[in-house]
Amino acid sequence: MKQRVSAILREKLGREVILEKPRDRSFGHFATPIAFSLAKELRKSPMVIAQELASSFEDTAVFSSVESVKGYLNFRLSEDFLAEYASWALENPAEFGKQQKAQKILLEFVSANPTGPLHIGHARGAVYGDTLYRLAKHLGYDITAEYYVNDAGNQIDLLGLSIQLYARENILKEAVEYPESYYRGEYLETLAQGAIEKFGIEIFKDESCQKELAMWAKDEVMKIIVKDLGDTNIFFDTFVYESTLYEDWDRVMAKMGEGVYEKDGKVWIASEAKGDAKDRVVVREDGRPTYLAGDIVYHNQKFERGYDHYINIWGADHHGYIARVKAAVEYLGYDSTKLEVLLSQMVSLLKDGEPYKMSKRAGNVILMSDIVEEIGSDALRYIFASKKSDTALEFDLSEFKKQDSSNPIFYIQYAHARIKTLLAKAEVSQEDIAAATLKNLGEQADTLLFDALLLPEVIEDAFASRQIQKLPDYLKALAASLHKFYYDVRIIGTEDEAKLLKLLSVVALSLKTGLFLMGIEAKERMTKEDD
């Protein structure tokens, strides 16, 4: 709808026009302050310009009214336009809200080290990334979801050591001395048993086998990670392994040119000159690359693949890392403004008002899989999508286990199920519903129809602003309007039954499409606790 109005204004005025939605719906569906922008150019007051523009729209069938209010131009869409758009949406449900954007995007997210199962911090970034991916796909972007597997370096060596120590203590019953830093959790038992089947028990006794054990184990951990993500409806198009990148090291370092230098037996990147707080070490004295080294080679590979835009989703603790990576991108000869880094804040969990207990299976973190098992994938996805990703999030699991209106995901799914139940009880045929014209149903019905048809605008805004919480906010508000309409208006058996059910079908389409874009199932049948 907004695109249609924008196109009409662009054609009439010969320029792009900012459109807003008035808070008070009595002013219309859309408004623009264009008269204020034209005042200086036309040497007239905004009120005069707005009045002149309003009178020029009298013959436009898209609008039932165009009014000047204190210099603003207010538009009310016609019943015919809304009815026509609603019919098209129901006839083309798979196309509702879709566009064709001419941009190729590489979206990298999660990228957790393959040293243990995903925890809830990873889950937040995973849901954020996957929802952005779904929105972009729906909008027609050529977007690739990528997972960067950090399968090289100390953390992988430590995985092999941790498995050996665990097995020697718990399987071989030896006394062992653990280092200050090591991995723990019941998943090590699974890896240890798998290692016995793969290599035999002798692999735990020979320290020289740690590397072989680690390289096998990180692939097994990746299987766990991929399964946990799949259980939450999150899938990746491509995986890039850090261990495969270093064969390109010499070429990439040469490409960096003056961006790298040697000092004190180390290799440094001159990132301070590009806005970083200081220069950073890329290669240590002993020749081992730092974490940044892998990222430099990886981002070179990314940009060589020729995308138009690159989005990374990182944990908030990586904020200081942005400047050094962008510096590397500049030294590699690329435009660092094409690299967008989004941050995902940490999560605090409660259960019945008390801090959630850490998972024994994970050691010292809360596992993503434990939360999915407790409240389900739909609730987990809703929770992590419902707040801005760069703000801290605290929630109580018990609130999302309730089967009533206090649980927002239940509230939205119940709205969709309620409509499906009404359609199943219909006394009119599907043909009558499809043929009905959505006119003369009253102000509450008109408002509900307009709100349901706003979904495409919400999808575009949520992706463009990178604020995916706008989608669950919209769905919750639409569900509230639906539930109120259900209690206020008699539907089955009335003269307007076909019209009203067609209206509700549009609402159901928006709810289902929006939930799909959040990776959540739209329920067909549900039962409320208070029913």
Per-residue confidence (pLDDT) for residue 267, from 0 to 100 = 96
Phi/psi region, residue 28 (left: phi>0; alpha: psi -120 to 50; beta: rest), is left
What is the amino acid identity at position 148? Y
58 and 160 fall within a common domain: no
**Kind and range of the H or E element at 13?**
helix 2-13
Sheet strands (E) in 384-478? 393-396
Query: What are the DSSP calls for 371-397, one per residue?
Result: HHHHH-HHHHHHHHHSS-TTS-EEEEG
Question: What CATH number is attached to the domain comprising 453?
Answer: 1.10.730.10
Q: Is 283 helix (H, G, I), strand (E, B) or coil?
A: strand
Strand order in the sheet with 104-108: 238-241, 142-149, 104-108, 309-315, 339-344
Q: Radius of gyration over alpha carbons of the chain, in Å?
A: 28
Please enumerate, as own/partner, the contacts of 288-291 that have beta carbons within 8 Å and a separation of 24 or more: 288/153, 289/152, 289/153, 289/246, 289/249, 291/150, 291/153
Would you say residue 301 lies in a domain?
no
Per-residue confidence (pLDDT) for residue 353, from 0 to 100 = 84
Domains in the chain: how many in total?
3
Distance of alpha carbon 40 from alpha carbon 307, whole angstroms: 41
Flag whether the pTM goes above 0.75. Answer: yes
22 phi, psi to nearest 5 deg? -60, 140
Per-residue confidence (pLDDT) for residue 402, from 0 to 100 = 85
Would you say residue 308 lies in a domain?
no
Would you say residue 14 lies in a domain?
yes
98 and 87 fall within a common domain: yes
453 and 487 fall within a common domain: yes
* Residue-number span of the structural domain to which 195 is assigned: 155-209
95 and 16 fall within a common domain: no
Tokens representing 306 are 């020729």
Of the three residues 21, 54, 77, the one that is the final residue of a domain is 77
Nearest to 118 by CA among 362, 347, 346, 381: 362
Taking the CA of residue 459 as centre, how many other CA atoms within 13 Å lie in the half-sphere pointing to its CB? 28
Would you say residue 387 lies in a domain?
no
Could you read off the pLDDT of 384-418 as tens digits, one per residue? 999 999 898 888 888 888 888 889 999 999 999 99
Query: What are the DSSP calls for 474-505, one per residue?
Result: HHHHHHHHHHHHHHHS--TTSTTHHHHHHHHH
What is the residue-level pLDDT of the chain in tens, covering all 531 positions? 888 888 888 887 788 888 888 888 788 889 989 889 888 888 889 899 988 888 887 667 888 888 888 888 898 898 999 999 999 999 999 999 999 999 999 999 999 999 999 999 899 999 999 999 999 999 999 999 999 999 988 899 999 999 999 999 999 999 988 888 899 888 999 999 999 999 999 999 888 999 999 999 999 999 999 999 999 999 999 999 999 999 999 999 999 999 999 999 999 999 999 999 999 999 999 988 999 999 999 999 999 999 999 999 999 888 889 999 999 999 999 999 999 999 999 888 888 888 877 655 555 678 899 899 999 999 999 999 999 998 988 888 888 888 888 899 999 999 999 999 999 999 899 999 999 999 889 889 999 999 999 999 999 999 999 999 999 999 999 999 999 999 999 999 999 999 999 999 999 999 999 999 999 999 998 766 444
CB 280 within 8 A of CB 268: yes
Of the three residues 209, 227, 245, the one that is the final residue of a domain is 209
Per-residue confidence (pLDDT) for residue 531, from 0 to 100 = 46
Would you say residue 146 lies in a domain?
no
Would you say residue 413 lies in a domain?
yes
- The CA-atom distances, in angstroms, between 343 and each of 26, 272, 322, 366, 428 are 39, 22, 10, 20, 51
44 and 103 fall within a common domain: no
Tokens representing 390 are 């760069």
Per-residue confidence (pLDDT) for residue 2, from 0 to 100 = 81
54 and 166 fall within a common domain: no
3-state helix, strand, coil in the chain (%, to 5): 55, 15, 30
Distance of alpha carbon 246 from alpha carbon 125, whole angstroms: 27
411 and 521 fall within a common domain: yes
Would you say residue 451 lies in a domain?
yes
67 and 83 fall within a common domain: no
Question: What CATH number is attached to the domain comprising 15?
Answer: 3.30.1360.70
Distance of alpha carbon 332 from alpha carbon 299, whole angstroms: 9
Q: Specify which residues 30 forms β-bridges with.
A: 75
Would you say residue 117 lies in a domain?
no
68 and 44 fall within a common domain: yes
Could you read off the pLDDT of 412-448 as tens digits, one per residue? 999 999 999 999 999 899 999 999 999 889 889 999 9
